Structures are given as structure tokens and as C-alpha cells.
């Protein structure tokens, strides 16, 4: 059985005292094993990052930028190769995997502008003969803990900004689809990144805890579920680290009566069922304003999902692939059965769809009559299940969204500019789409939610990542002139 090992200081590493199974979700086949790091192996990776830090921090900004320009070229050149790796271990269709890589490349392009991004400020003559300037300097060794659903994009969200700022990184990807992270580390090094600047360790809670507890790790970035995000934030911050921990989501798509209902139905199907719903920005709640709107939308969505082609991600005809594991598939299916038991109406039951495969496939489900308090509404399902909540007014829709404990993304579909603008003002959610169902910001803006969708003060990638991965130092200077200095024991003032 092939073994996926750690990548430390530019080399494969790890004794593989413990291993985990990596499956092909489309077939259920146990395709390889992955080494699960011991605390000692994580410490080895952290030591490699610490040893590489002084030289990388001292590397000129133009030289650093060159690495990102070359990396961008390599990622584009090997997009198909990377997409195939993602599909083989995650299961998403190849076009979706390629799209993930494209969005990751945006962050590399942003990081390539590091000469501009790391500029400080300068004020001349704040007092007689006194100047003040600020510097941005790296925080040190950074821990990056990434989820299974975007094994290329999310690591690039973290590593590009962290490395551009002069830090070194220990990346702990999901053990469910680990190969993409190792491939990324090799591409970085092929682009000219010195060995040890980016290290990859695979593992479970043992590896995560070693990163969180190490005194040599100064900052931690995480994307995953809300319970784990909260736990990581508490443990890492208690250990004196900077933390950005992005949690779960329950993204609502509000559809007003004046919306283009055909366009809204298309958007709902794409946003709810793309990547089998395994996206933190997937639309999982369709909020229909008015029963007439709801009835029309449900009919249009049900009609569109009838012909949805579900199959292996490697099949060009497939529009949706399997879920990541058998256990997760069964858990998602249980929400559909539970919704009916709680009084909702299952309009389309994807759990009843038969597949001639041992893979982890599940059909799409559409559930009407959903209300807060039902598990199908309250929980982050992370699968191809779309819940419909009926409300009578715009105000009721806003109240529903703002009352939810998650606040990652939301969208409104309307033809009325005034309604859209008011929604932007009223809604208490981190990312908002207007006639855009999945409002993931482009690389020049930052990604992140509010409430239980984010623990810490900084969103990920974009401008906020530069703040997160650097510390600001302010220098106040006076150079002696020809007049003799005078002693003054008073408090300094700027006059």
C-alpha cells in the first residue's frame, strides 16, 4: 500500500508509527495510507521552520516576490495534475477541482505584490528634528491547519500570505486527502522557496495539539467546523498565540418576490449542491419571501435536480461527485430522515437514490416547511441538502438570518436596488452576495464570517492576512545636531 509521508526541510520524513487510510470516495477503495505524525515529528517540522526563519526573513522582498511569480506559473501549468490529485482523494468533479486551484492562484497573485503590501508609514518632523516610521515584520513560525474540502485552495489562502510576509510555516492538512498539500510544498520549492520554509505534517489531534502547544509557533490559522475552531482558538490563545479560526456556516439565500426566479433557482441548485454541498459557503437555506415565491422556487429547483448527473469526479459527464467518507454520507442522509420526522416536507429525497457503486454517493435533497429548532435547519449539514424556510416579509427574512448563530455568508436575490442596498446595511453577516449565491471575495479582499463562524479578530487572506502575519514596529528617531543636548526629566511632548 503506498504511504503518504510528511515533507520536512525539503525531504520526505516520518517513521509512520501510526497510519490512517486514504480512500477514493468514488469507489470506496482504500487507495493509500498516510503517516500520522507523533509529537516528536511535529516538533521536527517546527524546528525545521524555526531554523529556516532567519534566512527567509532576511531575504529581499523582490526575491520573495519572484518565488510567487514562479509558483503562479507552476500552478497554472500543472492545474490538471493537481485537479486529478484532488478528485482522486476528495471526490469532487474535475471542473470543480480546477476551479478551486484557480481561486488559490488568486491568493498567490495577491502575495506576489508583497513589496507594496509590506510598506510602512513615515512621518517627518513630528517634533523638532524627530521623525517616526513604522515597519511590518514577520511573527515567526506559523501553524496552518486546513480542512478536507479544499485541499489546494485553503492551504494557499494561508501559506501564500504567511510566507510572503517572511514567516515560515508548518502545514497540517486533512488526513482524509493529504496528497495535494505535499504536492504544493514541492511546487513551492520548485519555484525557489528554500527548504524548511514550508513543511507538511499529516495527522490527527496529536499533530494539532503539538502545533497548538509548541512555544516556537507564534500564530495559528485554522479552517474547519465550529466546535473545533472554538477549541483551537481557546487552546492556542491560552498559549499566547495569535489565532484566526474559521468555523462553520449556515448560509441563507433570500429570494424576494420580484427576483428573476429562474435565475434564482439556477443559483440555488449550483450553490447548494456543487461539490456535494461540502463547502462552508454552500447555500443550505433558501428563504422564500411569500408562499407564491416559495411554491414557484420549489417547483423550479425540483425540476432542475431531476436531471442532475451524479457520478465519479473523473467522469466528464458528472456534475456532482461523492461525499468524502461513508460515515459522513450516512450522517448527511440522517438529516433528511430526521426532517420528515420533525414535520418538514421532503420534496426531493436524495437518500432514496440508488447507485451502482461502492462509493460514497448520495443524491440531492430538497426539504420544504423547515423552521428554526429543526436539526435540518440548526446544524451545519455539509452535504447536498437544501432547506426551504418560508417567510412573509423582507423584515422577517432579515430577522431570521441575523438570529442564526452562524454568520459566514448570505445572499439576496432581487431586482430592486433599494432592497439590495438595505439588505447590505441590515444584515449581520461577514460576506454578502447580491444576486450572487456564493459571495467568496476575490483575493484582494479578505474572507471570513461573524459570530460562531469566526474565532479571533482577523479574516483570512487578502489585506487582513497581512496584518495577521506581521507585527508592527514603530521607530521614533532623532539624530543629534550641532547644538549640545539638554537633559529634560519631563514627560516628552510633541511640541
CA-to-CA distance for 438 and 430, rounded, in angstroms?
12
Work out whether strand 431-434 and strand 385-391 pair parallel, antiparallel, or are unpaired. unpaired
The residue assigned the cell 476551479 is 99
3-state class (DSSP) for residue 427: coil
| Helical segments of 241-374, H only | 261-273, 291-306, 326-341
- Residue 321 carries which DSSP code? -
How is residue 141 written as a grid cell?
A: 513560525
- Residue 455 carries which DSSP code? E
Provide the residue count of the chain: 495
Q: What is the DSSP string of 175-200?
A: TTS-HHHHHHHHHHHHTTPPTTSEEE
3-state class (DSSP) for residue 400: helix
Give me the sheet containing 385-391, strands edge to edge. 345-348, 365-368, 385-391, 283-289, 251-255, 409-413, 431-434
CA-to-CA distance for 448 and 458, rounded, in angstroms?
8
| Count of C-beta atoms within a 10 Å radius of residue 477 | 9
C-alpha torsion sign, points 463, 464, 469, 472: positive
Q: How many CA atoms lie within 13 A of 467 on its CB side?
A: 11
Residues 6+ apart with CB under 8 A from 465: 157, 158, 161, 162, 446, 458, 459
- Residue 274 carries which DSSP code? G
Residue from 280, 320, 381, 385 carrying the catalytic annotation: 280
C-alpha torsion sign, points 134, 136, 137, 139: positive
| Helical segments of 342-447, H only | 375-378, 394-403, 417-426
165 is an active site residue: no
CA-to-CA distance for 431 and 466, rounded, in angstroms?
19
The residue assigned the cell 543636548 is 485
Computed on alpha carbons and rounded to an integer, the radius of gyration of the chain in Å comes to: 25
CA-to-CA distance for 459 and 468, rounded, in angstroms?
9
How is residue 370 written as a grid cell?
A: 423547515
Annotated catalytic sites, by residue?
280
Amino acid at each position: 500500500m503506498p504511504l503518504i509521508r510528511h515533507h520536512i526541510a525539503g525531504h520526505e520524513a516520518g517513521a509512520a508509527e501510526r497510519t490512517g487510510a486514504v480512500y477514493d470516495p468514488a469507489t470506496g477503495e482504500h487507495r493509500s495510507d498516510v503517516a500520522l505524525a507523533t509529537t516528536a515529528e511535529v516538533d521536527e517540522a517546527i524546528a525545521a521552520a524555526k531554523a529556516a526563519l532567519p534566512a527567509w526573513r532576511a531575504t529581499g522582498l523582490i526575491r520573495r516576490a519572484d518565488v510567487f511569480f514562479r509558483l503562479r506559473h507552476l500552478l497554472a501549468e500543472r492545474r490538471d495534475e493537481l485537479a486529478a490529485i484532488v478528485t482522486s482523494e476528495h471526490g469532487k468533479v474535475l471542473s470543480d477541482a480546477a476551479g478551486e486551484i484557480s481561486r488559490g492562484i488568486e491568493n498567490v497573485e495577491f502575495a506576489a505584490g508583497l513589496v507594496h503590501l509590506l510598506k510602512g508609514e513615515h512621518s517627518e518632523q513630528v517634533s523638532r528634528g524627530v521623525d517616526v516610521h513604522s515597519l511590518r515584520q514577520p511573527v515567526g513560525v506559523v501553524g496552518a491547519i486546513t480542512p478536507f474540502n479544499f485541499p489546494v485552495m485553503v492551504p494557499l489562502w494561508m501559506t501564500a500570505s504567511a510566507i510572503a510576509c517572511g514567516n515560515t510555516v508548518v502545514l497540517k492538512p486533512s488526513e482524509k486527502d493529504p496528497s495535494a498539500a505535499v504536492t504544493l510544498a514541492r511546487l513551492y520549492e520548485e519555484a525557489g522557496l528554500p527548504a524548511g520554509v514550508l513543511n507538511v505534517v499529516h495527522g490527527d489531534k496529536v499533530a494539532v495539539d503539538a502545533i497548538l502547544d509548541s512555544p516556537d509557533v507564534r500564530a495559528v490559522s485554522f479552517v474547519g467546523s465550529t466546535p473545533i475552531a472554538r477549541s483551537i482558538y481557546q487552546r492556542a490563545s491560552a498559549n499566547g498565540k495569535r489565532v484566526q479560526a474559521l468555523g462553520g456556516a449556515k448560509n441563507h439565500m433570500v429570494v424576494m418576490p420580484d427576483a428573476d426566479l429562474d435565475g434564482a433557482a439556477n443559483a440555488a441548485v449550483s450553490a447548494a449542491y456543487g461539490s456535494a454541498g461540502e463547502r462552508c459557503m454552500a447555500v443550505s437555506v433558501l428563504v422564500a419571501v411569500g408562499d407564491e415565491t416559495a411554491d414557484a422556487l420549489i417547483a423550479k429547483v425540483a425540476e432542475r435536480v431531476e436531471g442532475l448527473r451524479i457520478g465519479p469526479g473523473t467522469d466528464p459527464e458528472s456534475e456532482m461527485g461523492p461525499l468524502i467518507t461513508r460515515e459522513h454520507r450516512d450522517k448527511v442522509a440522517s438529516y433528511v430522515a430526521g426532517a420528515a420526522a420533525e414535520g418538514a416536507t421532503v420534496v426531493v429525497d436524495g437518500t432514496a437514490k440508488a447507485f451502482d457503486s461502492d462509493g460514497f454517493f448520495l443524491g440531492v435533497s430538497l426539504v420544504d416547511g423547515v423552521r428554526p429548532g429543526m436539526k435540518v435547519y440548526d446544524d451545519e449539514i455539509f452535504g447536498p441538502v437544501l432547506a426551504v424556510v418560508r417567510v412573509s416579509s423582507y423584515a422577517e427574512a432579515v430577522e431570521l438570518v441575523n438570529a442564526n448563530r452562524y454568520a459566514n455568508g448570505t445572499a439576496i436575490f432581487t431586482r430592486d436596488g433599494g432592497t439590495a442596498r438595505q439588505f447590505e446595511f441590515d444584515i449581520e453577516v461577514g460576506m454578502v452576495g447580491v444576486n450572487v449565491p456564493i459571495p467568496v471575495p476575490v483575493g484582494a479582499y479578505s474572507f471570513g464570517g461573524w459570530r460562531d463562524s469566526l474565532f479571533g479578530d482577523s479574516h483570512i487572506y487578502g489585506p487582513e492576512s497581512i496584518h495577521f502575519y506581521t507585527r508592527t514596529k514603530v521607530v521614533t528617531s532623532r539624530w543629534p545636531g550641532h547644538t549640545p543636548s539638554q537633559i529634560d526629566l519631563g514627560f516628552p511632548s510633541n511640541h
